[in-house]
A and B are shown apart, each in its own frame.
Chain A
Amino acid sequence: MNSSPAMEPDAPDLVCQLDNVQGMVDALTCVRWKRHQDALVELSEHGIVLIVEESGCLQAKVYLQRELFTKYEYGAEGRPRFGISLGLLVDCLNTFSSPGHSNTIEIKYPGPDMELLLKYDETITHPLCSRSLADDGCGFIRSVDTLNSCIYSEIRTRIPETSEWDYNFEQAGAAPLTFTVKSAALKEAIDDLEWPGSSVQISLQKSPPCVTFRGEGHGDLQIDFMYYANTDLLLAFHCDTEVSYGYKYKFLKATTANIPGNVARENRGSKLTIGRGGMLKVQHLVSVAKALAPQVESAGYQPPSRIAYIEFFVKPEETA
């Protein structure tokens, strides 16, 4: 057996450090469409994956690769999995996030009782000045007071159910059916489609190349993204067979409802793919980096290691 000195039998499966808690909160909030959701977390040497699911029709995954962390010490054999409450995890992480402070938190798994452990330590040097009479008649004594504060948390985890949550996304045909649209525009379109109060039909048309979102309820609303007309909104498009599928509004809404504000600010695009049988895959990129000074950011470019990948899978409605 090949074991380094660090891999003792009781070494934790994972010890990692994150320097931007708010980024992680943003990424996880993307997949939070209900107040209470049970999530499945899988740890590996590549990073952390969190999966949530609803009624067999909607699944979301958050990929946090190890490069997002300032430290990532993986000591498990295989890939440990556990269940955790998503809402609790997000609300808890949110307490570690303090505006104006740079917080590096440490996440460890497992704790003595298989909990997920979080910790933040801060030492503030607090200068104290007081006047004193020195030889020259006037002087200052400077002493330094250190104040320590910390935040800690233990979150209970569950043994996950054994049933597989793999939605088996397969390519529709010889070539993928996919388009990339401005995330902000996608969110706006889906928000607008609430009005008809019906399910949403997504159609891909070959010529002219166009994506259509349509709702027919107590009113009709159709939103077209034409590929050549506006390459600002529709950034990529590939379709060699025309397709059209319907999706329940609330599941489609869940894919964009909680995209964080920085996605729009950074002008990101979301990629949508329609797979075999009409399964819809929606992919977003969420920045997990600390906000840099405006002059340092260039046209929304972020080094790949500071991005979390979010994926949604939505099953189409059964056709009668």
Chain B
Amino acid sequence: MKFKAFLTENGVNLLERRFLPAFDKMGKTCYLFLTKDHLFFLHNLLNGDGVQCIAQFRIDVLFDDYRISSQNDDRIAFSLDVSLLYRAVKSSVSICTEFSGGLASNRLQIKLVKKLPLNCTQPMPFLTFETKGYKSAVIQDVPISKPLSRSQVVELQTALDSAQDLPPTLVQVQDPNQLQNFVDRMKHVGDVLNVTISKHGDLQVQTSTTLIRLGSEFQRLSVVGEKSQAPAEDRNLSAQTRSERAIARGDAQSVQVSVKHFLKSLQCHLTKPDSAFYGIAPQGACLTVIFQFLVPGTRQTDKSITLHCRLPVLDTGSN
């Protein structure tokens, strides 16, 4: 199995300034899944518990001169500690800047190697970052797990495929700060969040204990997918009543997620998306958040980068 590529300047910026800071908050370890066309960062995909985070990059966004080969349809997957990867990229960037003296000719090479570390009898796999300067080279080794076997890769691919299902209705939240500010302060009040999403474009987040009910509702958000009009007679009702009636009509769904998981998924805003879409998977299987990136200067979705999170549901709120 072989992997070697050069990180482009754009690639380094994307990773160092936007994506790795977010992945660092999502979880300690993640899988890196490399194929002929894409690179995936996958958090919690195979274990049931935490927030699943799936990031997909088309190879040309991050790399130049990308070479990959393996006996597994040229797919390679391994897990690593995200903070170590982040640190390596950050320091490689500062080294590159030092060496370059204004020239973009210094390139950051990344490759898969097996090395014998100190005090070890067995060679171990690493993801190596190499910067070749005029007189010296700087090499940083990020330890990684043993690359996944064929059957493990199949398992990973299957999990990845099933995580790509889109919920039938998605509502668009353009200003994440308000939502983040609210949920951040709400965590002192309750641990469990009831999320209700309606086809009318309403998103409601609420926490409820024996002593208090506290919630926030965002109305008339843009809807992607199945939509419907809110009945006029519901307009002046309270938020809770409106959502109960929408659920009874089949126009809305409600699920319960952990506040901690929700706040974690909000950390994806460190990647600076243009907006976020929230939806509930069929049968209330999970809460999906899809982050949209636009091609800079346009209103078109940049399909070369995708990022979404799936939050486990604690208990189905209602049908």
Contact residues of A with B, CB < 8 Å? 85, 88, 91-92, 94-95, 97-99, 145-156
Contacts and interface: CB of A to CB of B under 8 A. Distances in A.
A171 B239 CA distance: 52
Interface stretch (B52-60, B86-94, B119-127, B211-219): B211-219
Interface of B: 178, 181-182, 185-186, 188-189, 210-221, 238-240
B185 A153 contact: no
A88 B215 contact: no
B178 A149 contact: yes
Contacts, number: 64
A99 B180 CA distance: 12
A95 B219 contact: no
A155 B216 contact: no
Contact of B185 (A94, A149, A150): A94
Contacts of B240: 152
A154 B221 CA distance: 25
Given A88-B212, A92-B214, A149 B219 contact: yes
A149 B213 contact: no
Contacts of B213: 153-154
B188 A150 contact: no
Contacts of B220: 145-148
B238 A152 contact: yes
A82 to B, nearest CB: 13
Contacts of A88: 189, 211-212
A95 B185 contact: yes
Contacts of B219: 147-150
B217 A155 contact: no
Pick the 5 closest A-B CB pairs, nearest first: A148-B219, A91-B188, A153-B214, A95-B185, A151-B216
A147 B218 contact: yes
A152 B239 contact: yes
Contacts of A155: 211-212
A85 B212 CA distance: 10
A99 B215 contact: no
A94 B186 CA distance: 8
